[in-house]
A and B are shown apart, each in its own frame.
Chain A
């Protein structure tokens, strides 16, 4: 099949506006009579809200209204798979950054003053911040009955027999850190009622259709009473998959009937948004003298933080990709997503497939050394090809470029494979 666009250099249509500064991002929207809203977020990772000075804040100059969870007409929580992230908390906070009060004010300055004045009294609980602690007996339960959000096993062949065949074994633990998307345009939403009375939210999002569903659920209205307009997106990288300011802006407009803008500062953006899962990866890889991989045992734990988000999908992907692009006949993989009181983790470029290469490629280098074989050659010997079968049983039929890629590298380095 020949697709005309592939391999052709096209000028992207949005570039003209972008180089002139004319592209419209959500914060560039202004409306007559627009109010500003923002949330007071928890400053502790785990505990119960005992009291706030909400009445005092309501009296402040420039404050139009202060919204707490009791004023949400519909669903109190959102989430891409499980509906577990509070739009405003009832009382329990599970991470730094949980939303407590939503303040609507007449301008940015009054809003900032009001947010600075909010006082929250907590009953502070002892939280868990490592995977190890979260899995200990007696740890506080953050999920539904346990701290394990998700558990997946991938098995093929006979793992014990596989290791028996092995002449060399490498056994190591690898660890990756939490990462933030840090897209350049911070989360912003503008909500208002359009001419036809439809509640409209202007936002930069990866899922306008999910957003519509979440806003409608939150306000307890029909989906066709909500419109999401996707403005120019200032980077996303997975970080705009979960709801951020959408429900807050919509809720504020729903209650005040006025256009409302919510803008995150860089600090709020960093505190509130999902992250890339830090993972602990225990790898045991066996290889035969002739350089053929024969067994792989993997245990992966992903710190999924306080809420589910895409945690299950991310750990699933990690498990599926745990062998790397290599043929291994005997495999035993388990991956778990574990709740903690850390920032919640979700989608970010690669979606779980980005962490495991650190482990499987390091193993390859270590084994190559044991075999005294060139690492590129060792990879080439074991790489997937058309007809190979992955650990999950998938027969690869086309587009398997790894061998070709290694051949090119060898070519450049003038080496024999």
Chain B
């Protein structure tokens, strides 16, 4: 499979979850496990432009596909979403942050003009126990401005 543009070839157990492949085989530790059951979104990655929970995907099933993890969001320099999250301070413990940023990216890549309702909807599968979400919505709006100016 191809993660952040880099190709990985490996013989694996068919039951290996994508999150385990990413963390243990590809050694990319930015993807987090919070529940392992599809409930929290900490493990969110983008496959074919869509956000999915990597804890519910079998690695074997996405063989050959392109996967984006948090490490692939900032290629060389910070992505506008990351800059915006920094500027508004949308991060506390940070454990939900990678998943949150990927859900945001999946949304804005498709729909840069997303409304507040659509923004809320897009991160509704990402649990944050620290912030209370409002600050993230602000961050995402700021990211929209930045991306539009680019």
Contact = CB atoms under 8 A, between A and B. Distances in A.
B78 A20 contact: yes
A114 B86 CA distance: 44
Chief secondary structure at chain A's binding surface: loop
Contact of B30 (A15, A22, A234): A22
Contacts of A9: 89
Contacts of B89: 9, 11-12, 15
A69 interface: no
Interface string B117-139: 00000000001111000000000
Nearest to A237: B129
Given A184-B128, A265-B36, A19 B78 contact: yes
Contact of B94 (A18, A27, A237, A266): A18
B54 interface: no
A185 interface: yes
A129 interface: no
B91 A21 contact: no
A23 B94 CA distance: 8
Interface in B77-96: 78, 82, 85-87, 89, 91-96
A15 B91 contact: yes
Contact of B40 (A19, A21, A23, A184): A184
Contacts of B82: 19-20
Given A14-B94, A15-B86, A184 B78 contact: no
Contact of B34 (A15, A17, A186): A186
B38 to A, nearest CB: 11
B95 A16 contact: no
Given A184-B32, A233-B93, 7 more contacts: A18-B91, A19-B82, A20-B70, A21-B28, A21-B31, A30-B27, A182-B129
Interface of A: 9, 11-12, 14-25, 27-28, 30, 181-186, 232-237, 265-266
